[in-house]
Structure 1
Amino acid sequence: MGQRQGKPNPTAGYARDATAPTPTGREQQQQQQGSDLGTEGRGRGRGPGAAAMDTFFLSHGSPMLAIDDTIPARHFFKSWLPAAVAGAQPPRAILLVSGHWETATPAVNVIRGNNDTIYDFYGFPKPMYQLKYPAPGAPDVATRTKELLEQAGFGPVEEDTRRGLDHGAWVPLMLMYPEANVPVCQLSVQTGRDGAYHYELGRALAPLRDEGVLILGSGSATHNLRRMGPSGSPVPRWASEFDGWLQEALLGGRHDDVKRYEEKAPHGKMAHPSPDHFYPLHVALGAAGEEAKAELMHHSWSNASLSYASYRFTPKN
């Protein structure tokens, strides 16, 4: 089970967006178009001869994303389906790697029926605990994931037949696929391993992209809950520098640097005291392949230091 979200700081202002660094040219173009979404890959279907699906890293930030309409990233997630970001048709299933499920070795949840909604946080408003996201399980994708990982030497892979969806999964998904009609299964992260391990784990999952499975990593581009600030505070230097480095590394195709972020990135340990919310990015990046093209899909901040930077990874041809 992943770490619980810390109790909200009353001065942190989960519902407000803090001052962000100057937007990139890509972001300015998106703002002019009135959308947070990139245009590449729209309308992709899963018909005969369709290209392999892109993979994505989503910064899900605060659980309040589920109900607070003033969080900018909420509008990005709500635009996901109308803009056909992952294709004109919904995926056959979703494999989601969440920073809120940590195990010693890989584990998948094999749910036959509907997923339960896990409230793995405390101290939030009562309406948060009344939300439900009963998406169907995807036991076939879970067992296929296990098969691929064990074939690649990542076994043994545990099957969890009881665990539902943690908030790293259901909070963004309830905005992206609000009908809760796309089957979902989860894959855990191993915080005792490194970025290179999770990148290679992702590479083992690449065949799923050709099978109509949407691979999503859900975490945060920066995630230091002890360093969050009040609403309206400027983004601290350590957060902006790490976030900027990550964007440059991904868009520049420097996968090796991303794998070794603790030694390559500025303020790596400050941005991620624990790597649980960063390893989902490595899995999604690895699943897209070594020459994958990265695209910044959304960028905003809340609580001063919490980055909602989210990326698309497009496989080469």
Structure 2
Amino acid sequence: MMPSYFFAHGAPTIVLEDHAYNDFLKSFAANHPKPKGIVVFSAHWEEPVQTVSAVEGKYETIYDFGGFQKELYEMTYPAPGDLALSRKVSALFAERGIVSAKDEARGLDHGAWAVLKLLYPDADIPVVALSVNRHLSNEQQYEIGRALAELRKDDILIMGSGGTVHNLRQVNWGAAGVDSWAADFDQWLEEKLVSWDLPALFRYQELAPQARAAVPTSEHFIPLLLAMGAGDGTRKAELLHRSYQYGNLSLSAWEFQ
């Protein structure tokens, strides 16, 4: 089956940058089977009810950031929507008792398009975007991802886009190395993901070192739990890449087989 994935999306400028993580994302497609469709949970789309995009035609590109290079605002990612896949996603949610709504107009925010532009620059794979809700429990987040696991049999790539350590108040723009507190949190997280220790992961706010600094708000962490839930059947997690920017902004990629 197609694995599910978590990709950190870093800063919006990731599409312009030159570093190891950017290289990893650009080489991903050459080393993995091409999916028939992509279902993406973005940290930058928050709704109180699980929302499923149902865009007919191609997506608009949302520039949900300010003060960056002009080149960023000229980029587009006109991926096609897939109404049949949107309906399938909604049906899978309904089967699990997960209430969902559809959105027929919203474009792709940078949490989705910035990563997808590096992974699949031709924008030729149909995309269904999904919202996140920080007010649900970690167990509920996992179950939302698990509800979609069946899609993997149809070569649909389920991905979460966010960041494991994402505290913009703590970033150090001139830092060359990684702050110890960020590395400590990510190391704890790696151990729990590889061992698939759900009880610990669901209580990461209490148990993980430096959790409050690493995850001051949960919207960027939630996509990791969603992607992991989609891999529940096999329960095998592999860290594909991890590096850091600005002292503590974590750039990691996880595969859940």
Q: Same fold (TM over 0.5)?
A: yes
Say whether 1:57 aligns with 2:6: yes
Q: Which one has the largest radius of gyration?
A: 1
Alpha-carbon shift at residue 194 of structure 1 (Å): 2.1
Q: Which residue pairs with 1:120 in the alignment?
A: 64
How far apart in 1 are the matches of 2:216 and 2:83?
33
Q: Pick from 100, 124, 134: which aligns with 1:191?
A: 134
Alpha-carbon offset, residue 127 of structure 1:
0.4
1:77 and 2:25 correspond: yes
Aligned equivalent of 1:296, options 227, 231, 239: 239
TM-score (norm 2): 0.97
Instruction: For residue 280 of structure 1, report the CA deviation from its aligned partner.
Output: 0.5
SS in 2 for 1:122: coil
Letter in 2 for 1:119: Y
Question: Which residue, out of 97, 100, 105, partners 2:41?
Answer: 97
What secondary structure is seen at the aligned counterpart in 2 of 1:121? Answer: coil
The one-letter code matched in structure 2 to 1:312 is E
Which structure shows the higher helix fraction?
2
Alignment of 1:153-232 (within 5 A): 153-155=97-99, 157-232=100-175
Alpha-carbon distance in structure 2 between the residues aligned to 1:67 and 1:234: 21
Deviations 1:11-42 (A, max 9, x none): xxxxxxxxxxxxxxxxxxxxxxxxxxxxxxxx
Counterpart residue identity of residue 3, structure 2:
D
Secondary structure of 2:169 counterpart:
helix
Q: Is the 8 A contact 1:196 1:260 kept in 2?
A: no
| Aligned-pair identity (%) | 40
1: CA distance, partners of 2:95 / 2:142: 16
Give the stretch that moved more between structures: 185-194 or 128-137: 185-194
Q: Is the 8 A contact 1:137 1:183 kept in 2?
A: yes
Distance 2:234 2:151 in 1: 17
TM-score, length basis structure 1 = 0.79
State the match for 1:19 in structure 2: none
**Correspondence for 2:187 among 240, 244, 253:** 244
The worse-fitting range, judged by mean Cα deviation, of 116-125 and 247-256 is 247-256
Distance change >3 Å, CA 177–CA 103, structure 1 → 2:
same
Q: Secondary structure at the match of 1:299?
A: strand
- Following TM superposition, by how much is the alpha carbon of 1:291 offset from its aligned partner in structure 2, in angstroms? 4.4
SS at match of 2:81: coil
Measure how far apart 1:256 and its partner are.
2.4
The answer to whether the 8 Å contact 1:231/1:302 transfers is: no
Alignment RMSD (CA, Å):
1.1
Aligned letter for 2:60? D
* AA aligned opposite 1:73: Y
Opposite residue 43 of structure 2, the aligned amino acid is G
Question: In structure 1, how many angstroms separate the alpha carbons of the residues matched to 2:218 and 2:233?
Answer: 22
How do residues 245-284 of structure 1 correspond to structure 2 at under 5 angstroms? 245-284=188-227
Describe the SS at the equivalent of 1:101.
Answer: strand
Number of residues paired by the alignment?
257
1:215-236 C-alpha deviation (Å, 9 max, x unpaired): 0011011110100002234322
Ranges in structure 1 where 5+ consecutive residues have no aligned partner: 1-51
Consecutive aligned runs of 4 or more in structure 1 exceeding 4 Å deviation: none
Instruction: Determine if contact 1:253/1:291 at 8 Å carries over to the other structure.
Output: no
The unaligned stretches of length 5 or more in structure 2 are: none
8 Å CA contact retained: 1:94, 1:182: yes
Matched residues in 2 for 1:274 and 1:141: separation? 30
SS at match of 1:91: coil
- Give the drift of 1:265: 1.1
1:149 to 73, 93, 113: 93
